Structure 1
Amino acid sequence: MSHATIPSGFVKSALQNGAGRYVCQLQRLTLVFCKSSGGSRGLRDFVEKHLLEFTQKNPGVVVYLQPRRHRPPKLVAEYLNGRREEIPVATHNDETICQWVNHLRTHSGNETVRLRKTWHTDTPSIQGPWTPFTNKDTRLNVTQLPSEELSRFQPTEPSATEKLLRLAEQLRAKDAVKGGGETGTPV
């Protein structure tokens, strides 16, 4: 699915959730399943093993069981904002259905949208766009190039390569003193 097909919008709070106390947005959960179909096995296992615990932990959510003969199993969630969401759960096991139920319980009920910002700028940095000359020495602004002074730049400390070569020489010298000669091990 491309971003062009996903609707876009701005951040909205569901009923100002978090401003006072938390209000679970899931209002009603309906479990539709077949009593004999093999595809409904996971949902029937969820009802037997996990549904009582879910209802005890979430007394604000009304749970309905709808046995329907020869119908594929699904979870139907209805939220406080009036939105309804259906998730088909054919051939899912009870653990996966637990995860889907938890997702529906913690979901806001708002439609999934690509978020847009309330502002736009062509240069996102308040310091301006970066250029290769951003952190260069300001003497370059008034220097006529090519410059003899700038081309004779001599570093004050050795480079990393020079440091490694010195370290390798020191190690060879120590090995020569310890072993009484060249050990032949490469550095």
Structure 2
Amino acid sequence: MSNSHLFMKSGFVRAPLQNGVGRYVPQLQRIVLKFCKTHGGSRGIRDFIEQDLVEFAKQNPSVVVYLKPRRHRSPVAVAEYLNGDRVWMSLHQKSHSEITKWIEVLRTQQGDVSATRLRKYQFTDHPSIQGPWTPFTFKDPELNVAQLPDPKFGANDRLPMTATDKLRIMFEKQKISEDNVKTGE
């Protein structure tokens, strides 16, 4: 066993902020694109900025995008995540399509997890090969795309009557009895 793990920061395998349980929280907080306006190695990043950057910013309103022109330097993308990680990526001599793919990779990951020594909350001599159980383990996948409430996934008539429904029924009964008194029945 090597001692390389001694110099790596350690962390737990977990979804930050219980990400994916309830709602999805994008982890990319900020991206800084550094480039040269004239250097040939920055051509791909300049094309990305001209053609796709506005659309990227519209599709990802939670990500702050900074453009930092620098003279006679290679293009670089620096991504900062909610967990404090910073990922630095050289974009020198990359084409427009390659840069689009790498920006998407930076957007979808949750920081530099590869440089982390993984730790676990639990330990067992006989680990399960099936993985941990969650409340969503045996749910019907069709439920992911269903428009709820749907009688197919549970009848709504079994729910207890709400206070608003009770008041509405009481009001209707009172109105009917008042109408009967006025007409003399």
TM-score using structure 1 length: 0.58
Aligned residue among 98, 101, 108 for 1:99 = 101
Pairwise CA distance, 1:51? 0.8
Aligned partner letter, 1:71: R
Distance 1:54 1:125 in 2: 42
Aligned to 1:82: 84
Aligned to 1:151: none
Aligned residue among 117, 123, 128 for 1:119 = 123
Aligned residue among 2, 13, 22 for 1:11 = 13
Distance 2:96 2:82 in 1: 26
Aligned residue among 29, 32, 41 for 2:43 = 41
- Unmatched runs of 5 consecutive residues or more in structure 1: 127-187
Greater CA drift, 8-17 or 108-117: 108-117
Aligned to 2:73: 71
Identical pairs, percent: 51
Aligned partner letter, 1:33: F
Distance 2:28 2:62 in 1: 8
Q: 1:9 to 1:29 in 2, by over 3 A?
A: closer
SS at match of 1:52: helix
Pairwise CA distance, 1:70? 0.8
Aligned to 2:58: 56
TM-score using structure 2 length: 0.59
Structure showing greater Rg: 1
Aligned partner letter, 1:5: S
Per-residue CA deviation, residues 98-124 of structure 1 (Å, 9 max, x unaligned), is: 111101111112532354564353xx5
- Aligned residues of 2:87 and 2:112 also touching (Cα < 8 A): no
Aligned to 1:146: none
Distance 1:5 1:37 in 2: 38
Aligned partner letter, 2:104: N
Distance 1:82 1:115 in 2: 17
- Aligned residues of 2:28 and 2:63 also touching (Cα < 8 A): yes
Per-residue CA deviation, residues 38-82 of structure 1 (Å, 9 max, x unaligned), is: 010110011111111111111111111100001110001111122
Pairwise CA distance, 1:125? 8.8
